[in-house]
Amino acid sequence: ALKRLPRLPFLFYFFLYFLAGSGPLFGGCQVFDDSLGHVRVDLASPFLLGSDLRVYCHINKCGSSIMANNMHFSVMKGPPDKPENITCETTSPSPWVECRWRAGRDTHVVTSYKVSLSSENGTWNWTSEADNVVLPKAKLDVNRRYRLVVSADNRFGRSRSDPFMGLPSPAVLPQSPHITQVYFGNSSTLAAVLRWGTPEDLSQLSASVRLRPANSSSWEVREATRLSQDEVRVDGLEPLVDYQFQIRMCTTGTSKCSKWSSEVMSRSPGKGPTQPLRVWRILSNHKSSSLQTVSVLWKAPPPETFSGQVEHYKIDLGRGPAVREVICATSLCRFPLQVPSDLAALAVSVVTTYGTSPPAIVPLSLSGTHPTRGYPTANGSAMLVSWELTRPRVPGSEELYYVLEWTSVPAGHRELGWMQVSMDQNNATITARRPPSWPTQDNSVIHFCIHFCLFLLMFFK
């Protein structure tokens, strides 16, 4: 234990914690900064537990250092823990048997191990600095039983394991596979496909996969989908991450598993948009025999659904090279263009750094309005619009979705709004947007008028 420092104008409490081990500690000058001063500890290198050290207290106000009394540390000393849980394993073609054991607590000093293997024909000894040793199969006779003992030694003593009676028939494990290819697919969830090679019979083995980001020290075992005998898919990955992958094989009957393969690192790609844009159109009242004017409206994809940046949008008329590339940096986009009068539909998609969204179909045929009812909310800031789900079927058409379109007229400010609504939904809420010039006090009342129509969009095949 440390002795209390002398009382000073400013007191510093300095605690050192040493693990319950023994032996030399390599130390140096430790400085603890503080606005009032600092404490310095001078350690010899190496520093032997049980010896003295000097602690200096420096007070900024006084500008001087005061040496405290020498402090003495005492630590219980002892031999290493007894090696336990000895297991021995091998693979069919390997000329070696690997035996492992649990070493116990860390003594913080050099610990060596001696492995003795004996039978009625003699004793063989091996040494190791780790908690495992490899034994040559050539030394083992399948018709004999062996006695294996592990001794652990450090400067303070020796511990011996209980005898392990076994060998020469250790657990035979599958050989460790090696990953030959990693590639990524951009489906609804980012997935990696791993392909591997092994001389084992794959029909009797199952595969396990673990992974980790390159900047992480902990592995995560993931459930994998077996695609073929030598391919698995791991779903739910994050975009633009350097992943490290390992794979191992386990027998289906006895659940004996190989060692993990060598790790393979691969960077996941950026995620492209996987859902069509939300789109709408406004048809002009003026239509000639050959052309009509259409204002195409769409909403930008949510940022969390893709990686990188939006590069541009594509409007495809579906006829030859008639594709327009449109730049729009806002969340609501509108683009007028002239199209052939007999054009039934066009498509809009977004092009991002890492991919293009599926095309969103915009039918250009006239859509009949659907009967609706509107009810203002209690505070008058929104309107609930509802409708019946029953509707007549139109032969030769494919129903896509509803579009609720409205025009709000707050204080002379006219604004067009719209939203897509799925076919199984029979209501939606229109929220009034406060114009910038309006007061923002909590007790102000919003007065507005909303004109709305519900359209059922159908695509005629």
Distance separating alpha carbons of residues 167 and 142, to the nearest angstrom: 8
Contact 328, 335 (CB under 8 A): yes
Q: Which of 243, 267, 291 is the last residue of a domain?
A: 267
Could you tell me if 109 and 155 are in contact, meaning their C-beta atoms sit under 8 angstroms apart?
A: yes
Residues 136-171 pLDDT 10s: 877 777 677 888 899 999 988 899 999 888 665 567
* Residue 344: inside a domain: yes
Q: Is the pLDDT of residue 72 over 70?
A: no
Judgement on whether residues 88 and 135 belong to the same structural domain of the protein: yes
CATH number at residue 295: 2.60.40.10
At 203 the three-state DSSP class reads helix
pLDDT higher than threshold 60 for residue 408: yes
**pLDDT tens profile 258-281:** 889 999 999 999 888 989 999 988
pLDDT tens, position by position, 226-245: 999 899 999 989 999 999 99
**The pLDDT of residue 449:** 55
How many domains would you assign to the chain?
5
Residues 342 and 383 in one domain: no
Residues 283 and 350 in one domain: yes
Q: Which of 35-44, 302-311, 394-403 has the highest mean pLDDT?
A: 302-311
Q: Which of 231, 246, 267 delimits the end of a domain?
A: 267
CB 66 within 8 A of CB 8: yes
Express as a percent the part of the chain with pLDDT over 70: 69
Answer yes or no: do 255 and 335 share one domain.
no
The pLDDT value recorded for residue 97 is 84
Same domain, 5 and 50: yes
179 and 258 assigned to the same domain: yes
Rounded average pLDDT over 314-342: 88
Structural domain for 228, as ranges: 174-267
Calculate the alpha carbon distances from 334 to 122, 164, 302, 331 in Å: 90, 79, 17, 10
Whether residue 443 has pLDDT greater than 80: no
Residue tagged 């018709």 (tokens): 143
282 and 341 fall within a common domain:
yes
CB proximity list for 453: less than 8 A, separation 6 or greater: 369, 372, 404, 405, 406
CA separation (Å) from 151 to 137, 414, 446? 22, 88, 85
Contact (Cβ atoms closer than 8 angstroms) between residue 385 and residue 445:
no
Q: Report if residue 373 sits inside a domain.
A: yes
pLDDT of residue 450: 54
Q: How far is CA 310 from CA 296, 334, 354, in A?
A: 18, 16, 9
The DSSP 8-state label assigned to residue 341 in this structure reads: T
Q: Is residue 455 part of a domain?
A: yes
Domain end among 49, 77, 105: 77
Residue 113 lies in a domain: yes
Is the separation of the CB atoms in 213 and 266 below 8 Å?
A: no
Residue 328: inside a domain: yes
